[in-house]
Structure 1
């Protein structure tokens, strides 16, 4: 129990978390964010960039990180897919709770309907959506062979780009530690922006549809 409490405390300080948990903590977080419904709050992008920075200083091996975390990202999405496939559409009727963010699942379904199968790749770079996209793909009965190919491409690209960005910054920017806090904030904002824009567009579209439906109903009653 003490280790669990310490883990959540260290989530606020990513460098300390990585030093404390090493490869194990990184692997578990990447898997949980993509494979478990409750993992949507975990700091995937910023954690990976921070890991890349630490690897640039020799604290971690960047190639071990790349291989291990790619496998965990792919495995996490696979678990999400099969969870969605087994539970089926009934998951959309499940009531919202602390452990289940129904709104996020519905939003992921909307994004999936808009972008199709390629969302499995695109969602990797969209926090929150990446947790629920494989579940929606499973519910939609996407053929597993097709899902797996998108899953591998997306997982490897996500890990490589985030780790690579951190590793490059660590080798190019002098005293990058001084700016780590601001770098993490910038990553969080940049990664959340597409999801926020998409969510706003979705809400506006829903409002337009409701207004149109009200107008149609009013015309019918005349």
Structure 2
């Protein structure tokens, strides 16, 4: 048995290929992670986008843990549906938690798992984009964890929240899982390139692609604040 290392916890391939007593449990782990990342505020560190993309690549193996389906398309479609449902449940739980906890999270001290700044960043993001934030947040790490909680805290209309929740969950799941699966099929059939041999590069690319825009935006926002503060100082002088 391969020795476990804590770094594997941020490697989506580790969860997909996880086994217990010789039995594959990857599909159950994937669904739980999707639920946890969107429903439990401690789940923001879990792999999200890269996990779904890789799930598309491994869709056949994952679905064989539940059903034996000959149709390639049905395998991917069913996997996407299950993931979307897990996302809907996760967001719903996050909304419920936010509605019940109220402002409690704002008073929690920072620790290894929880950082209050994530909550403030998500609140600003949510206030700026309104209901669409639920859709946008699905594709942004960290923010997607706190967006439903913020929606619950500010008492967003439940029907409106669920509308965006369902749309965003299916959009997120289908786009990434179908992209991963059919990109793998196309590259393998056309060029003999197996994406399973380049998992590390794929994960790195997806992490950069999803987090870099957020980092750039935060840096720009900080620069604008500093410029505004400097202007205020100059005016006083």
Instruction: Indicate the TM-score class for this superposition, using the shorter chain for normalisation.
Output: 0.7 to 0.9
Alpha carbons of structure 1 residues 95 and 214: separation in structure 2 relative to 1, 3 Å: farther
Q: In 2, distance between residues paired with 1:6 and 1:86?
A: 38
Aligned to 1:60: 62
Q: Which residues of structure 2 form unaligned runs of 5+?
A: 19-24, 64-75, 189-193
> Which of 13, 17, 21 pairs up with 1:19?
17
Contact 2:55 2:180 in 1 (8 A): yes
Higher deviation after alignment, 6-15 or 173-182 = 6-15
Aligned to 1:193: 212
Superposed displacement of residue 114, structure 1: 1.6
Aligned to 2:173: 159
How many residues matched?
212
Superposed displacement of residue 9, structure 1: 5.6
TM-score, scaled to structure 2: 0.81
Aligned to 1:92: 106
Question: Which of the pair is proportionally richer in helix?
Answer: 1
Give runs of aligned pairs for residues 1-222 of structure 1, distance below 5 A.
Answer: 10-20=8-18, 21-55=25-59, 58-61=60-63, 62-174=76-188, 175-211=194-230, 214=233, 218=236
Superposed displacement of residue 136, structure 1: 1.1
Q: In 1, distance between residues paired with 2:105 and 2:200?
A: 38
SS of the residue corresponding to residue 11 of structure 1 reads helix
Q: In 2, distance between residues paired with 1:93 and 1:85?
A: 15
Contact 2:102 2:153 in 1 (8 A): yes
Higher deviation after alignment, 108-117 or 90-99 = 90-99
CA-based RMSD of the aligned residues comes to 2.2
Q: In 2, distance between residues paired with 1:12 and 1:33?
A: 13
Superposed displacement of residue 157, structure 1: 0.4
Contact 1:37 1:131 in 2 (8 A): yes
Q: Which residues of structure 1 form unaligned runs of 5+?
A: none
Deviations 1:170-200 (A, max 9, x none): 1111222222221221111111123212322
Alpha carbons of structure 1 residues 29 and 207: separation in structure 2 relative to 1, 3 Å: same
Contact 2:83 2:173 in 1 (8 A): yes
